[in-house]
Structure 1
């Protein structure tokens, strides 16, 4: 799979802060995380690790992804930020996935999973985004969602209503993130929303590494 080969070349793209508590070599954990995030099921990831003499179960690989705390790199200063939300299915529940994307670089800045589509969650999402990135001078590209526009006003952020153009970047990235979620549908059985959000943040990190 081309995505796996590309991400495997990024050997220094993330660090693991929990390795001192693990018996598995760090290189094996990083390989397992990369393989799973770029498309292999947990079972196939375990099989690949066995080829290197590393015998671990599926839940162990899942826990590595959770513990790694991967998410889009902080400290960016984009000129534009496209923000949107979309429905995402996790197990038998519907959630709202909020995302902020730098359309000029075609990369995720932040993602958040919520149980509703409203002003309160939109404000929280933009507040987290402001803590992670310098977006004070950015122009936010939003659609007709009034809650997103009002959240921008309350945070003192400049925005403009744009349906297509640069906002197409977020639609493309959403499509890929949904594809990955559908691919790992069985991975979400009886999964807590916070755990799913951690997994989605890791997927956003992974997608950014493949640009």
Structure 2
């Protein structure tokens, strides 16, 4: 799925693997500790090839596909129940098989944690409303102040949901922009592009990345 990449976030591996749920495992021949380490290494910055090389030094011989499948089967999701005072919202382009997709993200500026992410094939007011509805189902954000850029579709969707928002170019909105830069840095080795995967596979990886990010910040 992913070609060789750098290791900008490996220093954050000391945080442990408690954020990884392996309930999907039934009769897996790989020790759970090795599976958690493989998922953590890959999401934190190692390529699949480098991840299996490290596992090999620990006496665990598995394929690149095995590590890829661990990430997909774990299907990690962000926790709900937050009550942020501010919510920074933005979208960024992610390429999948040479086609553009839009990654929507909502971030709590006070914690720099992801609240919700979604991958869409376009950016429209209707899709933005789906994103906001899902965000409201997961978290108590009705009284939050949304920090947005000048995207018309986003402001229109917020108005339709009766949510307060403020145009903010810098300030607290920098949190979501920093996180998007982190995603792009993490994917920079494959030109911010997922190859030979479908959108749902890419979105699962992005959800796993978001869970890891929250657990290590």
TM-score bin (small chain): over 0.9
Deviation at 1:136, TM superposition (A): 1.6
1:32 alignment partner in structure 2: 38
Alignment check: 8 A CA contact 2:42 2:51 kept:
yes
The 1:185–1:162 alpha-carbon spacing in structure 2 relative to 1, beyond 3 Å, is closer
- How many residue pairs match? The answer is 211
Q: Which moved more, 1:22-31 or 1:7-16?
A: 7-16
Looking at structure 1, the residues matched to 183 and 8 of structure 2 have their Cα atoms a distance apart, in angstroms, of 17
> 3-state DSSP class of the match of 2:107?
strand
2:93 alignment partner in structure 1: 87
Give 5+ residue unaligned stretches, structure 2.
1-6
Q: Which moved more, 1:178-187 or 1:162-171?
A: 178-187
Q: Which moved more, 1:104-113 or 1:5-14?
A: 5-14
Deviation at 1:191, TM superposition (A): 0.9
Does 2:67 correspond to 1:58?
no
2:140 alignment partner in structure 1: 134
Deviation at 1:146, TM superposition (A): 1.6
Looking at structure 2, the residues matched to 24 and 14 of structure 1 have their Cα atoms a distance apart, in angstroms, of 15
CA-atom RMSD, angstroms? Answer: 1.8
Name the TM-score, length of structure 1 as normaliser.
0.92
2:52 alignment partner in structure 1: 46
Name the TM-score, length of structure 2 as normaliser.
0.90
Alignment check: 8 A CA contact 1:83 1:140 kept:
yes
Give 5+ residue unaligned stretches, structure 1.
none
Looking at structure 1, the residues matched to 132 and 192 of structure 2 have their Cα atoms a distance apart, in angstroms, of 31
2:112 alignment partner in structure 1: 106
Q: As a proportion of its length, which structure holds more helix?
A: 1
Q: Which moved more, 1:64-73 or 1:6-15?
A: 6-15
Q: 182, 205, 208: which one pairs with 1:199?
A: 205
The 1:176–1:119 alpha-carbon spacing in structure 2 relative to 1, beyond 3 Å, is same
> 3-state DSSP class of the match of 1:43?
helix
